[in-house]
Amino acid sequence: MAQSSGEVAAKRTKLSPSGADAGEDHFSALHDDILVLILLRLGTIAEAVRTSVLSRRWRRTWALLPELAFCSAPDNRHVLEVLAAPDAPALRRILVVTKDDAPASVGAWLPLAAGRLSGDLMYHNSVEGRKEEEGNVTIALPCFGKATKVVLNLGFFALALPSTGTFTVLTDLFLERVRFRGTCELGEVVSSPRCPCLLKLIIRRAWGVARLTIQSESLLQMDLSYLNGLQQLNIDAPVLNEFNLHYCFGLNQQKPIANISAPQLMSLLWRDVYDPSYVRLGNLGQQQRLSPSIIMAYGGHHHNRYNREVLQLLQHFQVIQTLNIVLGYPQEDIGNFQYLMEDITHLPHVTFLSLYVMNGRHAFGASSFHVLRLCTGIRRLSLVLHTNRNLEAQSTCPSSCICDQPTIWKIDKLLLNCLQEVAITNLKGAEHEFAFVERLLSCAGVLEKLRITFDYSVSKSKAKELHQRLSCISRPETQMEYYMYRDMGSEVRGLALARR
């Protein structure tokens, strides 16, 4: 008989004879494989076990399930029991979601899971409390020799990595909120000798990784975020396509050391400290997408260092297809700060520029046009205006604010003769926003398409008013599209607004 994805065995041993029990009802007469498919659609192992009351024929059918899901207490007390069930089949998926779980409990069932799993393991422990004695308990991670994907969100449990064994077919490894302990280093486990098929590696919010050395012939994507205490990073990954680094070195007092060799890297996100004297980027000849750290538009002397480091990273590249720039503004009053954009004197040659502006209630024309002056050859521009819900009550900044200075951007003869498409997201309709759009349209002489997505707070009547104002200043040849958010969600819908 036909099976689902070929993953349920063609034949199973009957759990009970086909005599009286099989004739009790239509369900009990079904083959085990059909009963398994029915139980899989119940969602969790607890629901599957409850079917035992239907008939003796169902009492142990749940033990044949190839997928196990335990979602919150009290079901999690049965994880160990279910995984230890005799004559249980290989598992293609294990999902466990807990709340304030005990590390000893996790450490007890993980070895059983490693012995039965031939697919994906996902464990998430949400933390609201923590017992003092749990801080001294370390979970020993077994070697998952047949697992294809392992996702562990441990709630800052201590974890000891296996010193022996090969993760033979593992392609995805995601470890979050974990404290590494033990003698085996993370780099040793995830490198090619022990993870020969690893394609995707994500480590987030971790402690205990002072040195990370990875040599992988297979790795395609790597994401390292908030590795507290990381001092040295060495990566040799000849086929790596995407590398993301978020705030791993920033808390260190000493200069970090990093050596990255990834000749096929196409996307680099480097949101961390950067000094070419200590950070060495090897051959990145395939680079197409670059995302540096936040550039501060205004700030004090301590912000100058951040901008200089961003500039040093940007100077490493001459041509980039897509450049993602984040412009940051201090949350407090910026009256005593300086304009810092003049620190940014170089941008690579760019085709697609993405500007994410975290301006709060401040005007952003000066800082944004400084960026545009450095990349006049762009063909597409995406402008995303960050909405700070905490500042919604203050829609405008004080009249004495320096956020609109210098004002040269309003009269500078800037020509964006290659710009064909512009997308602006979260437009509220403030006057400083309209002034930016008006100036942008005057500089883009060959603009073909303008897409506006209004902020969720903009009413339909306000959107129509803004549409009419923009129609008066745009070229007749420019196609204009307008969208609104639906119920503060991420879904957007188009507005049927004709050019006036």
Distance CA(127)–CA(202), nearest Å, equals 20
Answer whether residue 273 shows pLDDT above 60: yes
Q: Which of 5-19, 153-167, 193-207 has the weakest average pLDDT?
A: 5-19
Answer whether residue 136 shows pLDDT above 80: no
Q: Which of 21-25, 149-153, 327-331, 441-445 has the weakest average pLDDT?
A: 21-25
CA 324 vs CA 172, 315, 330, 346, 347: distances in Å:
26, 15, 20, 14, 11
The pTM assigned to this predicted structure is 0.83
Q: What is the mean pLDDT of residues 368-377?
A: 96
Answer whether residue 16 shows pLDDT above 60: no
Nearest to 368 by CA among 339, 401, 335: 339
Concatenating the DSSP letter of every residue in 106-147 gives: HHHHHHHHHHHEEEEEEEEEE-S---GGGGG-EEEPPP-SS-
Answer whether residue 19 shows pLDDT above 50: no
Res 4: pLDDT: 44
Better pLDDT: 69 or 323? 323
In this structure, what token pair is assigned to residue 72?
């919150």
In this structure, what token pair is assigned to residue 284?
């990145």
Distance CA(80)–CA(112), nearest Å, equals 8
Better pLDDT: 362 or 142? 142
Q: Which of 36-50, 167-181, 260-274 has the weakest average pLDDT?
A: 36-50
pLDDT > 90: what percent of the chain? 50
Res 11: pLDDT: 40
Res 56: pLDDT: 53
Q: How confident is the model at residue 23 (pLDDT cuts 50, 70, 90)?
A: very low
Q: What is the mean pLDDT of residues 342-358?
A: 95
pLDDT > 70: what percent of the chain? 77
Q: What is the mean pLDDT of residues 420-442?
A: 93
Q: How confident is the model at residue 256 (pLDDT cuts 50, 70, 90)?
A: confident
Classify burial at 145, counting beta carbons within 10 Å of its beta carbon; exposed 0-12, middle 13-18, buried 19 or more. Answer: middle
Answer whether residue 188 shows pLDDT above 50: yes
Q: What is the mean pLDDT of residues 122-132?
A: 74
Q: How confident is the model at residue 34 (pLDDT cuts 50, 70, 90)?
A: low
Q: What's the pLDDT tens digit per position in 110-121?
A: 999 999 899 999
Concatenating the DSSP letter of every residue in 372-407 gives: HHT-TT-SEEEEEE---GGGTT--S--TT-STT-SG
Residue 458 CB neighbours (<10 A): 19
Residue 107 CB neighbours (<10 A): 18
Q: What is the mean pLDDT of residues 22-47?
A: 55
Res 25: pLDDT: 53
- Angle, helices 460-473 vs 431-443, to 10°: value is 30
Beta bridge partners of 93: 67, 120
Better pLDDT: 68 or 50? 68
Answer whether residue 381 shows pLDDT above 60: yes
Res 93: pLDDT: 86
Distance CA(49)–CA(69), nearest Å, equals 12
Mean pLDDT value across the chain = 83
CA 205 vs CA 229, 249, 263: distances in Å:
11, 13, 28
